[in-house]
């Protein structure tokens, strides 16, 4: 049995591609049933279509407000039959109502070791702060931006000559490993959201990746 999963994107879709590639492997516990973008020009839509995945656009600009945008998003998700939702570079903040309806069934990836460097340009924030390691976090989505307990984090070194582009590329390579690994654990029933925490079925689950 595979868990039907939708991926929400806004742009390039490289994490989406990593999830599609993983889900195409035999035995992977999740099946990607839809890729939905809030931007009609998202490059990831073409890649998903090439991979034979149903795509949909729910353009936030086509709706008078967030309530109507999210109703349309709900319709697209319902039509796909998705049980899980993976945000992969989806750059709209979802309302508490939307998130609370699927607590424990919606996850996000963010290019920092949360709770450090929430929000925009986290790689630049890491450089500005002078940290020596950063990385990425796959976390359950809760109503606050880039909040919610981690399922899996990957550590990435910050190298002395790094600019934001170099660090972003190194973190992105780690994201492409981290997201499929986290989705595997979640879809396998290896972790659940309980009382605001991620509770793992196997205390030895690999939830931290190192370089």
Task: Considering the complex, state which of residue 89 and residue 190 has its C-beta at the smaller distance from ligand GAR.
Answer: 89
d(C-alpha 140, C-alpha 105), whole Å: 8
Catalytic residue among 60, 110, 139, 176: 110
Query: Which stretch in 26-34, 104-112, 148-156, 194-202 sits in contact with ligand GAR by CB under 6 A?
Result: 104-112
Nearest by Cα to 94 from 145, 138, 55: 145
> Strand pairing partners for 199?
192
Ranges within 38-57 binding ligand GAR (CB under 6 A)? 44
Among the listed residues 158, 155, 190, the one whose alpha carbon sits nearest the alpha carbon of residue 174: 155
In this structure, the strands spanning 197-200 and 84-87 are: unpaired
Whichever of 29 and 89 has its CB closer to ligand GAR, that residue is 89
Going by C-alpha positions, the residue among 74, 84, 86, 64 that lies closest to residue 1 is 84
- Name the minimum Å distance from CB 145 to ligand GAR: 8
Q: Which is nearer to ligand GAR, 138 or 201 (CB)?
A: 138
Residue 110 DSSP one-character state: E
Which of 31/146 has CB closer to ligand GAR?
146
| Whole-angstrom distance, CA of residue 16 vs CA of residue 7 | 7
Binding mask 114-143 for ligand GAR (x = CB under 6 A): ------------------------------
The window from 20-28, 33-41, 53-61, 103-111 that contacts ligand GAR (CB under 6 A) reads 103-111
Stretch that binds ligand GAR, among 22-30, 50-58, 60-68, 106-114 (CB under 6 A): 106-114
**Which backbone phi and psi does 78 adopt, to 5 degrees?**
-65, -40
Q: Rounded to whole angstroms, how far apart are CA atoms 58 and 153?
A: 30
Residues in the chain: 211
Active site residue 68: no
Among 56, 58, 88, 156, which residue sits at the site for ligand GAR (rule: CB under 6 A)?
88
190 binds ligand GAR (CB under 6 A): no
The CA distance from 25 to 63, in Å, is: 37
- Closest CB 201 distance from ligand GAR, rounded Å: 26
**Interaction pattern, residues 162-181, with ligand GAR; x per rule: CB under 6 A:** ----------x--x------
Peptide bond into 191 cis (omega under 30): no
Q: Which residues are the active-site residues?
A: 110
């Amino acid at each position: 049995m595979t868990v039907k999963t939708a991926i929400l994107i806004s742009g390039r879709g490289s994490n989406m591609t990593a999830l599609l590639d993983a889900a195409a492997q035999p035995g992977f516990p999740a099946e990607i049933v839809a890729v939905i973008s809030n931007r009609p020009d998202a490059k990831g839509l073409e890649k998903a279509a090439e991979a034979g995945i149903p795509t949909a656009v729910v353009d936030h600009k086509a709706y008078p407000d967030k309530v109507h945008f999210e109703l349309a998003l709900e319709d697209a998700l319902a039509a796909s039959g998705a049980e899980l939702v993976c945000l992969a570079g989806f750059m709209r903040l979802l309302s508490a109502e939307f998130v609370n309806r699927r607590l424990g069934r919606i996850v996000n990836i963010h290019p920092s070791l949360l709770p450090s460097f929430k929000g925009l340009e986290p790689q630049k924030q890491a450089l500005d702060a002078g940290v020596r390691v950063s990385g990425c976090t796959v976390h359950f989505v809760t109503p606050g931006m880039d909040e919610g307990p981690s399922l899996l984090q990957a550590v990435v070194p910050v190298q002395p000559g790094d600019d934001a582009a170099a660090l972003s590329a190194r973190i992105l390579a780690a994201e492409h490993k981290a997201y499929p690994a986290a989705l595997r654990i979640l879809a396998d029933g290896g972790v659940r959201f309980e009382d605001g925490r991620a509770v793992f079925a196997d205390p030895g689950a690999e939830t931290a990746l190192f370089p």
